[in-house]
C-alpha cells in the first residue's frame, strides 16, 4: 500500500507553521483591530498569543501521542471514544480550511489588481489552481514553496518593525489608550485571533514528518512564539508610524503604514509582499484540508476513494482535487472580516474540545507513553488546558448571533453527512 513520504524535519515544519500563522490575517485585519482597540491593540495580540500557546501546548501533547493525519478527528475520537464527535470536529477543521483558502485567495486577487488588470475572482481561482498543482506534486515541494513564502512574508513584517523603531513618532504615544476601553481590546482580540490560526494544521501533516513524536511539539511551540513576538512588535510599530484612526479606515493597512514612512515605494513593496503572504496561507490551507480529508477517509468516516495515494507523487490526489473544487466554489463568497469571524468561531470551538481532550485522556488513557506533556500539572490534571478551555469558551460567547448561526448550520450539515456516510460505510458511533 502506498504511504505518505516523511520529508519534513524541525526547520521545515517550524517554517511551515510560521507560514501558516503569518498569512493574510495580519496584513488585512490589523486595521480592523485598531478600530476596536486603538493604541492598545498590541494587548489584543498579546492575548491572542497566550490563548494560542494554551491550545498549542495541547496540540503538542496530542500530536506526540497520536501523530496521524486528520489530527483533530483522531484526537477527539480517542479522547471521547465517539466517532460522531470526532467527525464533527474533523468536519469543522476541513470546512474552515476550504473557507480560509477561498477567502484569502480573494485577498490575493485584490492585491493582484494593483499590478495586473484582472478580475479579483479570476485572480483567486488562478492562485487556487496553481497552488493545488503544487499540493499534488508533493509535500516536499509544498514545504519548500511555503518556506520561501514565509521568509518573504516575515521580511515584510520585519520591514515594518524596522521602520517603526527607527523613525520617531511625530508626537508621544500612549500605548494603553483604548477608545472603547476593555470591551474594544476584547473585541479586537477575538477578531485578530484569525491571524494566529494555522499552527493547528501542523498536526495534520504528521505522517509526512520525520520523528513526529519529537519534532511536532517543538515546531508548534516555536512557531507560535516566533509569530507572537512578530505580531506584537508589528502592532506597536504600526501605531508609531500611523495613527490608529487612519489604520482603522484603511483597506491595505500595512501598505499605508509603509507609505507613511517611506512613500509610494514602501506601499508598492508591502503590496507585493502581501501577495506572497496570501499565497502562503492559501497553499497551507489547501495542503492541510486535503490531509484532513485523507485521514478521515482512511478511518472510514468519509468515502474511501478520498484516501487514495498517487503512486508517483505520494500525495492524496483525489482529496487534493476535492479541496480544489470546493475552494473555487467558495471564492464567490466575500467579506474577509465576516468570514474571519465565522472561521474563528469554528476554530475556538475546536480548540475548546482539543484542550478538553488533553484533560480527558490524562484519566482515560493514563498509561499511554507521552513523549511531550503539557507543563504545570497537579497530579494527572493539566492546569494550562483548563485555562485554554475556559478562554476559548469565553471567546465563543463574544460573537454576534449571525456568526453563531452560521457555525451551527455548518455543524448541522456535518451531522447530516456523518449519518449518510455512516449508512454507506457502516461506521459505529464508538
Render pLDDT for 288-347 as a digit per residue (tens, 0 to 9): 888 888 888 887 777 888 888 888 878 889 999 999 998 998 788 656 667 778 888 988
Residue 100 above 90 pLDDT? no
Average pLDDT over residues 148-160: 86
| Mean pLDDT taken over the chain | 85
Percent of the chain with pLDDT over 90: 31
pLDDT, residue 7, reads 67
Q: Which domains does the chain have, with CATH numbers?
A: 10-425 (1.20.1740.10)
Average pLDDT over residues 338-360: 88
Residue 147 above 70 pLDDT? yes
Q: Which range has highest mean pLDDT (37-51, 95-109, 323-337)?
A: 37-51
pLDDT tens digits, 372-427: 899 899 999 999 999 999 999 998 888 888 888 988 999 999 999 888 877 776 55
> What confidence category does residue 195 fall into, taking pLDDT thresholds of 50, 70 and 90?
confident
Q: Is 191 within 8 Å of 32 (Cβ atoms)?
A: yes
Residue 362 above 50 pLDDT? yes
pLDDT, residue 160, reads 93
Residue 174 above 80 pLDDT? yes
pLDDT, residue 130, reads 94
Percent of the chain with pLDDT over 70: 93
Query: Cell numbers of 323, please?
Result: 479541496
> What confidence category does residue 197 fall into, taking pLDDT thresholds of 50, 70 and 90?
confident
Average pLDDT over residues 143-161: 83
CA-to-CA dists, residue 101 to 78, 123, 312, 384, 423, angstroms: 28, 13, 26, 31, 31
pLDDT, residue 426, reads 54
CA-to-CA dists, residue 314 to 82, 146, 205, 208, 309, angstroms: 30, 19, 13, 10, 6
Q: Does the model's pTM come out above 0.85?
A: no
Q: Which of 109-113, 229-233, 307-311, 425-429 has the lowest mean pLDDT?
A: 425-429
pLDDT, residue 288, reads 81
SS3 readout for the chain = CCCCCCCECHHHHHHHHHHHHCCHHHHHHHHHHHHHHHHHHHHHHHHHHHHHHHHHHHHHHHHHHCCCCCHHHHHHHHHHCCHHHHHHHHHHHHHHHHHHHHHHHHHHHHHHCCCCCCCHHHHHHHHHHHHHHHHHHCHHHHHHHHHHHHHHHHHHHHHHHHHHHHCCCCCCCCCCCCCCHHHHHHHHHHHHHHHHCCHHHHHHHHHHECCHHHHHHHHHHHHHHHHHHHHHHHHHHHHHHCCHHHHHCCCCHHHHHHHHHHCHHHHHHHHHHHHHHHHHHHHHHHHHHHHHHHHHHHCCCCCHHHHCCCCCCCCCHHHHHHHHHHHHHHCCCCCHHHHHHHHHHHHHHHHHHHHHHHHHHHHHCCCCCCCCCCCCEECCEEHHHHHHHHHHHHHHCCCCHHHHHHHHHHHHHHHHHHHHHHHHHCCCCC
Average pLDDT over residues 25-38: 87
Residue 1 above 50 pLDDT? no
Amino acid at each position: 500500500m502506498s504511504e505518505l513520504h516523511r520529508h519534513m524535519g524541525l526547520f521545515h515544519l517550524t517554517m511551515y507553521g510560521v507560514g501558516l500563522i503569518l498569512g493574510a490575517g495580519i496584513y488585512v485585519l490589523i486595521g480592523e483591530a485598531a478600530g476596536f482597540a486603538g493604541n492598545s491593540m498590541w494587548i489584543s495580540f498579546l492575548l491572542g498569543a497566550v490563548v494560542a500557546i494554551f491550545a498549542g501546548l495541547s496540540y503538542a501533547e496530542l500530536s506526540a501521542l497520536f501523530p496521524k493525519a486528520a489530527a483533530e478527528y483522531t484526537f477527539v475520537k480517542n479522547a471521547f471514544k465517539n466517532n460522531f464527535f470526532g467527525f464533527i470536529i474533523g468536519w469543522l477543521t476541513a470546512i474552515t480550511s476550504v473557507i480560509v483558502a477561498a477567502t484569502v485567495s480573494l485577498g490575493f486577487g485584490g492585491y493582484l489588481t494593483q499590478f495586473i488588470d484582472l478580475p479579483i475572482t479570476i485572480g483567486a481561482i488562478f492562485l487556487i489552481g496553481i497552488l493545488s498543482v503544487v499540493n499534488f506534486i508533493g509535500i516536499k515541494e509544498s514545504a519548500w514553496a511555503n518556506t520561501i513564502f514565509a521568509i518573504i512574508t516575515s521580511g515584510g513584517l520585519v520591514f515594518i518593525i524596522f521602520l517603526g523603531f527607527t523613525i520617531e513618532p511625530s508626537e508621544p504615544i500612549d500605548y494603553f489608550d483604548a477608545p472603547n476601553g476593555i470591551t474594544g481590546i476584547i473585541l479586537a482580540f477575538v477578531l485578530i485571533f484569525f491571524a494566529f490560526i494555522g499552527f493547528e494544521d501542523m498536526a495534520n501533516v504528521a505522517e509526512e514528518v520525520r520523528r513526529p513524536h519529537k519534532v511536532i511539539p517543538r515546531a508548534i511551540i516555536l512557531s507560535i512564539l516566533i509569530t507572537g513576538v512578530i505580531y506584537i512588535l508589528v502592532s506597536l510599530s504600526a501605531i508609531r508610524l500611523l495613527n490608529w484612526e487612519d489604520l482603522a479606515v484603511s483597506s491595505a493597512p500595512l501598505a499605508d503604514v509603509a507609505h507613511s514612512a517611506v512613500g509610494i515605494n514602501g506601499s508598492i513593496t508591502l503590496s507585493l509582499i502581501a501577495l506572497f503572504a496570501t499565497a502562503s496561507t492559501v497553499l497551507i490551507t489547501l495542503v492541510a484540508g486535503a490531509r484532513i480529508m485523507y485521514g478521515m477517509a482512511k478511518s472510514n468516516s468519509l468515502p474511501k476513494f478520498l484516501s487514495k495515494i498517487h503512486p508517483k507523487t505520494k500525495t492524496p490526489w483525489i482529496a487534493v482535487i476535492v479541496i480544489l473544487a470546493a475552494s473555487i466554489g467558495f471564492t464567490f463568497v466575500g467579506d474577509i472580516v465576516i468570514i474571519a469571524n465565522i472561521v474563528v468561531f469554528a476554530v475556538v470551538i475546536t480548540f475548546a474540545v482539543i484542550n478538553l481532550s488533553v484533560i480527558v485522556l490524562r484519566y482515560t488513557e493514563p498509561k499511554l507513553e507521552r513523549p511531550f506533556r503539557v507543563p504545570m500539572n497537579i497530579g494527572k490534571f493539566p492546569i494550562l488546558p483548563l485555562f485554554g478551555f475556559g478562554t476559548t469558551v469565553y471567546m465563543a460567547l463574544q460573537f454576534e448571533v449571525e456568526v453563531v448561526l452560521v457555525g451551527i448550520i455548518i455543524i448541522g450539515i456535518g451531522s447530516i453527512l456523518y449519518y449518510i456516510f455512516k449508512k454507506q460505510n457502516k461506521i459505529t458511533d464508538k
